[in-house]
Amino acid sequence: MQSNKKPDLYVEIALLFVLGILAGVALKVEAGKMITIGFDDYKMKFSSGQYNINDLQKKINESSLPPEEGTHVQSTPDTEQENQQ
């Protein structure tokens, strides 16, 4: 009886191994259809509600300035020192 159980064990392990491979392949195929992590981003269709950061920054800068100073140049520490001298 012992001789029959040993081959059955090997067959069961082999079948379990094949089942694991098939399940892994199936999960990978299904996950590939649903999950993207940046690799295919250039293929994605983007919605029309995108924002242009440069235009938003210009509008914010223009709205935060007083009306008489419409052409205000932002000062840096170097230009502040030059203005003080």
pTM for this one? 0.39
**Which residues in the chain come in under a pLDDT of 50?**
1
Amino acid 48: pLDDT = 65
pLDDT confidence of residue 16: 97
Cα–Cα distance, 14 to 16 (Å, whole number): 5
DSSP symbols for 11-52? HHHHHHHHHHHHHHHHHHHHHHHH---STTGGGSPPPS----
Q: Which residue ranges make up each domain of the chain? A: 2-63
Q: What is the CA radius of gyration of the chain?
A: 33
